[in-house]
Every structure is written in structure tokens, then in C-alpha cells.
Amino acid sequence: MIRFRIPRSHLGGLAIVSLLLSSALAAQTAGFPDRLVFGGDRNYPPFERLKDEEPSGFNVDLAQALGAQSGTVIEHRLADWPTIVRALEAGEVDVVPMLVSPQREEQFLFTTPFHYIEHAIYARADVPPVYAVEDLVGAKVAVESRSFAQRQLEVEDIRTIPVLAVTTPDALNSLVRGDADYAILAAPIADRLIQTGRLPVSRLGPPFWPRGYAFAVREDRPELHAWLQQELELTIATGAYQGVYNRWRTQIHPMATNEKIARIMLALLLFFLGVAIIFVVWSWSLRRQVAARTRDLKRALEQTQDAESQARYLADYDLNTELAKPLCFARLVDEVLCSPDQASNGRELAIMQLAELDEVVGAFGRVYSQELIRNFAQALRQVVTGPCGYFGRGVFATLADSGVVEELPERLATEGHDEAQYFHFVTGSARYPEDGRSSDRLIKCAETALAYSLSHRSHWTCYSASLEPDPQDLEIVSRFRDERLQGIYSVFQPQLDLKTGAVVGVEALVRWNHPKFGMLPPARFIPLIEKVGMISHITVRMIDDAVRLSAQQRKLNQPLIISVNIAVHDLLETDLRKVIKDSLDRYDGRPEDLKLELTETSFAGDSPWVRFSLQGLTEMGVSLAIDDFGTGYSSLAYLSQFSVQELKIDSTFVTDMTTNNKNSSIVQSTIALAQHLGLICVAEGAEDEATLDLLRTYGCDRLQGFVFSRPLPELELLDFLKQHDAAQTPEASS
């Protein structure tokens, strides 16, 4: 395994540097919180684990060393890995050590890696051996939920059958039980657990996926990231890091310890054999061992230096494009801007995004898209002399002379790679020094300009203060992030069966009484919450409310199916099966009383993970409905490929169907399609009796709209149901 070590010859110089930096660091850390919570995996030895209910491990000791040198009290919270990642996202813990990846860099800020970890494939002895990740296609593969390995299989498009586990021991036990054929796990942790637990599992082939292991914080906490980076550098400079490493070295690298013991035993054996035979033979053998050991040590030192150099390169540069990653690019930009050369005046920082890259991946595949990205990077290096970076997902950045940015499309087409004529990209830029004097400020301004270019279909936009987002939008997102679900509540709109007149279900809808702006319509805040990736918090709340109310009604012998809207982000990033199971267990609910409504765009692209998630939900007994039908994905293939029971016609077609012949035809055709496919058809947005009568004429199954009932708070809904049931009884009608 690759590890981070500091040559003894450098420690003295680094200590002096740390003393010179102390005054500056003291100024920057003044006022920093005196208490921090570090999160971690509860069973990830030797890096972190709960031992006798107390946190222990290399990461725990390293965090305590950071706190000791700054006077900060460090607390530790260890749990299963998915829980800890969600706790970091929610701000319940401050710092979590994790493997660095491009996907995680889009969500978190990382320090310099303080260790490097590789993964390996594991299996039982009776399973056919494989030696490469590509050979796992179609196999049942155990990985930790929300782990680097799970995400990397998706990035590399290795189509396995995932067996998700919450901890590394759970993943290994799934191999022992036969629930999985193989497992992809972090090698040092899995090796140690196999050795200590004497599990009938072994590693197949060499390790792979070397990745830096670093401290991660949320993107909205740059001051904490800066503090961590500074304190980590100080622990290295003062030798505190080396002290922590030395305490755990034998557990992090147990094979090295066994090898050392074996060599000592061999030397002793040779010694006694030499005494028993003749001194000359012993002396000659000893000299050969010393020479061989010297060669081995020299070779090992060279390999370690090469590995550390490669690891540093991997941490700073993207392998596909050979361009700097975001942190490295920012550092290079600051070096140029801070140089005494006056040529840094009149510079322009540009961020470019390849347009429609997702469509390219869908049409031509991941290999072609990677080649397109690589060709664009080569062309960019040919026409720009300043720093160039790659931020992932087809987003590039460069610092160029003023005026060059406007010429980039033409220059890339004429001077770049042979395939440059196929490049289609949009650009946002910011000027130095008018818009900022640091890389952070210039990158932020250029990203704002790029967002404007994308939303307004503009080829290039230069930053100006007028492009900054609406302050009210920022206030809405900020309040949601700080206060989460305060003021958020559910209302419920009943569905009417047009044949029987009975209430056959309700749809749970979210409302927000904002502490500053009052009642906000969902169309105002839902897109903002989705954009910042926090919509899952609302989804979990709505599912919990729906299960609670449906369980309450079933106990009263009045079963009620409640529908909840979910977004594609929920399918890709949230373990919905666990969320639903937890709510069902909490309220003693039944899965058949819950229905999930997905928009058509949730099926676009036919993601394997979306398919896997929907299949798992269906197997639980949860029913599925397609919401807003007719406004999204044009293909109808998913109606037969997915286990969908209900189709809801979007209100834009229903509201004016009595006066708009085209919309009336669309509604009638959709009802006929649903009947042909054996699906229940629900019309949303009916507001008058004429629309209701026309829907009955067309044979629509159910109706949801103001003509029957507006969305109601929970208590009003219960009164409505009682009154409606009473009106439906024969006694009431007589």
C-alpha cells in the first residue's frame, strides 16, 4: 500500500517553517470554534472503529493531534458509513475523512491527502477467480452504500448487480453467506478484518483504484477547510503526524510487520546453522543477505518515491485530460496573479462547459465522450499559454490574456485538434483585477457568468454585478439550509373515483410557511431546493407524513392510499427503500398504502440505478405512478418496461379541455392509451362540472382537482373524508 511519509532530513526545515507560519496561522484561526465533531465509520479498522464503545484508530489520533496543537476540543461520532455521509451533508458533523473522487469534489472541500488507499476484489475459494473490475459485469458484487467503490462502478459503467452493505464487515459477511459473488472493498481494511475474523475469504488479483484519503468538509465551510489544511500541514512539519503514523504503522501495514519478523527468524536460523557448521559459510551467507537487503531497500525506496510522486500527480491532475484539478488550478492562478510580473494585469479567467455532453454520452457512449473531452483539453493547451484546469463533467477553466476568451471558438476550430470543429461549448468569464484579485473570487464570478450563458443560451458572457442571483433566492436557500424543515408541512388533495364516487386516495403536497416571506408556493422554492441538492430532505419528510397518516387510518379500519412526489435525485442519491422501511417500522404501516409519483423525466436515459431502485420499491409492495404525463420524455417505452400502475394527465391539458380542442384530443388519447395498457388514469386540474362530465364521457378512471376538493390540511382532510363517506351511504341518500 502507498503511504505518506516525511524524510527525517526534511523535518528540521519543516519545523522552522512552521515557526515562521505560526503568527499568520494564529491570526487566521482566531475566533475559530473551540469544538469540532469528526465523523467516521464505526467499523473501519485500523483507521477508525468503536472499541468498547470508544472511538479508536489512526484517524481518531490524527484528529486529536490537530486539536491539541490548536487548542480545539475534538469530538468523534462513529456510525455506519451512509449515516455519517448524510450527517456531514446535514451539518451534524463537521469533518469526515474519506477517499477523494471527482464526484465528491463537486460536493465537498478536501484537504491535501494524508494517506493513500487502494481497493481490491474479494471472494470465497469456491467462486471462479477474476482479476479485473471489467470481469465483474453481471455478477453480484457487494459494496458499501455511498462508498467510493459503489460510485466508481457507476462512473466506469461496470454493470454489476449491486449488493449494498452499510459496513465493510457486512459486505464480507455477504460473501460468506453467499448473498454476493464478489466484493470490492478498501484493501487495508478488508485485509485486516479477514485476518482478525479468520473469514473464509481471500483477495483476488492486485489492488487498484489508488486514491488519496483526506479530510472532507461541506462546500459552504471554506473557513473550516482552510483551518484543517493549515493544521494538517503543521502536524507534518512538527513531526506530530509521523508520531501518530508510527503508532499505527504495524496495523496499517501488517504484512510489513510479518515480513520483518520472518526475516529476523531467518537471520537467527542462519546464525545458529552457521555456528553449527563453519564460520566461513555463515559469514559468506550473511554478506549475501546484507547485499540483497541493501538492494531491496534501495529498490523499495525508489518505488516508494515513485509512488508518492504519482500520488501527488493524481491528487493535482486529471488523468484523462492531464489538466489541473480545481484546487491545483486555483493554486496555479494565484501564483500567476501574485507574481511580480506586471503581465498579470489584464488577465481573464474563463470557465467553459461542453454543451449537451449528457446527450453525447447517451447517443455515443462514455468512451466517445471521454475522447471528446480529451481532444478539447489538447486543443485548449495549444491555444492558451496560461494555467488550464478540468473541473469534471465537461467543464474546463483557463487564465488567458484579456481578449483571448472572445477568440477561443475560432482559435480552437482553426488551431486545435483535428476534431475541434465538432466542439460546441459555452463560456463565462471574469476579468482581473476588475472582478477580483484572487482565484476564488474570479472562479466564483466566472461560474456565475457561465450559469447565465447556459440559462440564456448565450455563447459567451462576461461577469457583471447584475448577473448575481436574486437575493431572495439566496435567502430562501439559506433559511432552508440553516433551519431545514422549520415551517414545512403537508397538505392532502383527495382523488375521486368517477365511476363509484368514492375517495380512493390522496396526494401529499408540500407547503412552506417561510419565517420571513410567509407562504411560499411550491413552484417558488422547490426548484431552488432541487438545484442545491437538498430536495431529499423534503422527500423524506413527505414520505414520513404519508406513512404516518395511512397507518393511522388503517388502524381505524379506513385504509387510505397516499401518494408522494419524488424526484430523480431521490432515486439516484437517496436510499428510498431504507427511508420507506424505517417509516413503515416506526408507524407499523403497510407498503401497499404508499404510492410514489415520478415525472416522465425520471425515466429519461434509462439509468441502471433508476431501474434497480424502482424494482426494489416495487418488490417492497409500493406502487408507482407517472405524474405530469405528456410534458416530459417523449418515448413511451418505459410504460411497458417499468412496473407502473397509474398514469396522471398533467393539468395543463385538463384545465381548458372544454374550450381547447387540441388539449381535449390529447386527454382523450391519453385515457385510451392507459386503458389499452391496463393502467389507472387520473386527470389533474379539473376545476368545473363541465370538465368533470367530459372526463366521465371519455372514460377517465379518477379525478383530482378543485371541482372536487382543494388540498387540505390533515385535520380538514379527515373531516372531509367523514362527510363524504356519510354522503355516500344509502341512509344519507334516502
Residue whose C-alpha is closest to residue 117's, from 30, 263, 1, 248: 1
Residue with the larger pLDDT of the pair 61 and 239: 61
Q: For residue 600, what pLDDT is reported?
A: 62
**In which band, very low, low, confident or very high, does the pLDDT at 225 lie, cut at 50, 70 and 90?**
very high
Q: For residue 420, what pLDDT is reported?
A: 39
Q: Quick one: CA torsion of 64, 69, 74, 79, rounded to 10 degrees?
A: -40
Q: For residue 307, what pLDDT is reported?
A: 73
The C-alpha atoms of residue 545 and residue 543 are separated, in whole angstroms, by 5
Q: For residue 598, what pLDDT is reported?
A: 86
Q: For residue 734, what pLDDT is reported?
A: 38
Read off the DSSP letter of residue 386. Answer: S
> Which triple of cell numbers denotes residue 145?
452504500
The C-alpha atoms of residue 496 and residue 401 are separated, in whole angstroms, by 65
Residue whose C-alpha is closest to residue 218's, from 39, 438, 395, 391: 39
Read off the DSSP letter of residue 575. Answer: -
The C-alpha atoms of residue 420 and residue 323 are separated, in whole angstroms, by 18
Strand order in the sheet with 48-51: 43-44, 48-51, 54-56
CATH code, 474-723: 3.20.20.450
**In which band, very low, low, confident or very high, does the pLDDT at 456 lie, cut at 50, 70 and 90?**
confident
Q: Are 623 and 583 in contact (CB under 8 A)?
A: no
Residue 193 has pLDDT above 70, yes or no: yes
Longest dimension (CA), the chain: 119
Give the tens place of pLDDT for each residue, 262-305: 454 455 445 555 555 665 566 676 677 767 777 777 777 777 77
Q: For residue 258, what pLDDT is reported?
A: 47
Q: What is the mean pLDDT of residues 49-62?
A: 92
Q: Are 426 and 453 in contact (CB under 8 A)?
A: yes
Q: What is the mean pLDDT of residues 79-87?
A: 93
Residue 472 has pLDDT above 80, yes or no: no
Q: For residue 5, what pLDDT is reported?
A: 39
Q: Are 147 and 166 in contact (CB under 8 A)?
A: no
CATH code, 326-467: 3.30.70.270
Q: For residue 628, what pLDDT is reported?
A: 79
Q: Which of 161-170, 370-379, 686-695 is the least confident region?
A: 370-379
Task: Give pairs for 310-316: CB < 8 Å, separation 24+.
Answer: 310/210, 311/2, 311/113, 311/116, 311/210, 311/212, 314/210, 314/211, 314/212, 315/100, 315/112, 315/113, 315/212
Q: What is the mean pLDDT of residues 223-242?
A: 89
Q: Which of 23-27, 202-206, 215-219, 420-424 is the least confident region?
A: 23-27
Q: Which of 68-72, 325-329, 578-582, 593-597 is the least confident region?
A: 68-72
The C-alpha atoms of residue 487 and residue 511 are separated, in whole angstroms, by 8
Residue 214 has pLDDT above 70, yes or no: yes
Residue 593 CB partners (closer than 8 Å, separation 6+):
547, 550, 551, 554, 559, 560, 561, 562
Q: Which of 135-149, 300-314, 610-624 is the least confident region?
A: 300-314
> Which triple of cell numbers denotes residue 354?
461542453
Residue 74 has pLDDT above 90, yes or no: yes
Q: Is 442 left (phi over 0), alpha (psi -120 to 50) or beta?
A: alpha
Read off the DSSP letter of residue 30. Answer: T
Residue 139 has pLDDT above 70, yes or no: yes
Read off the DSSP letter of residue 430. Answer: E
Q: Are 399 and 360 in contact (CB under 8 A)?
A: no
Q: What is the mean pLDDT of residues 207-220?
A: 92
N-terminal to C-terminal alpha carbon distance within the chain = 83
Give the tens place of pLDDT for each residue, 522-543: 888 888 777 767 788 889 999 9
Q: Is 384 helix (H, G, I), strand (E, B) or coil?
A: coil
Give the tens place of pLDDT for each residue, 607-623: 566 777 888 888 999 99
CA 105 to the chain's CA centroid = 9
Q: Are 659 and 631 in contact (CB under 8 A)?
A: no
The C-alpha atoms of residue 118 and residue 131 are separated, in whole angstroms, by 15
Give the tens place of pLDDT for each residue, 548-602: 999 999 999 999 999 999 887 777 777 889 999 999 999 999 999 999 998 765 6
**In which band, very low, low, confident or very high, does the pLDDT at 670 lie, cut at 50, 70 and 90?**
very high
b/e map 418-453, b = 16+ CB within 10 Å: eebeebebbbbbbbbeebbeebeebbebbbbbbbbb
Segment (H or E) for 566 = strand 562-566
Residue 367 has pLDDT above 50, yes or no: yes
Residue 682 has pLDDT above 50, yes or no: yes
Residue 258: count of CB within 10 angstroms of its CB = 12
Read off the DSSP letter of residue 128. Answer: P
Give the tens place of pLDDT for each residue, 21-53: 443 444 344 446 789 999 999 989 899 999 888
The C-alpha atoms of residue 565 and residue 541 are separated, in whole angstroms, by 11
Residue 405 has pLDDT above 90, yes or no: no
Q: What is the mean pLDDT of residues 445-463?
A: 86
The C-alpha atoms of residue 61 and residue 41 are separated, in whole angstroms, by 15
Q: Are 462 and 430 in contact (CB under 8 A)?
A: yes
Residue with the larger pLDDT of the pair 482 and 652: 652
What are φ and ψ of residue 516, in 5° steps? -110, -40
The C-alpha atoms of residue 640 and residue 671 are separated, in whole angstroms, by 16
Measuring CA to CA, how many Å separate 368 from each of 103, 357, 358, 359, 633? 20, 11, 12, 12, 24
Q: Which of 157-171, 246-260, 369-383, 420-434 is the least confident region?
A: 246-260
Residue 452 has pLDDT above 70, yes or no: yes
- Mean residue pLDDT across the chain: 83
Q: For residue 275, what pLDDT is reported?
A: 53
Q: Where would I find the beta strands (DSSP E) of 1-99?
A: 35-41, 43-44, 48-51, 54-56, 73-79, 96-99
Q: For residue 282, what pLDDT is reported?
A: 63
Give the tens place of pLDDT for each residue, 85-112: 999 999 999 999 999 998 899 999 999 9
Residue 8 has pLDDT above 70, yes or no: no
CATH ID of 8-115+213-254, from 3.40.50.300, 3.40.190.10, 3.40.1160.10, 3.40.50.1980? 3.40.190.10
Q: For residue 280, what pLDDT is reported?
A: 59
Q: Are 495 and 648 in contact (CB under 8 A)?
A: no
Q: What is the mean pLDDT of residues 336-340?
A: 83
> Which triple of cell numbers denotes residue 175?
460473501
Q: Which of 443-452, 549-558, 594-603, 641-650 is the least confident region?
A: 594-603
Architecture of domain 118-211: 3-Layer(aba) Sandwich (3.40)
The C-alpha atoms of residue 456 and residue 564 are separated, in whole angstroms, by 33
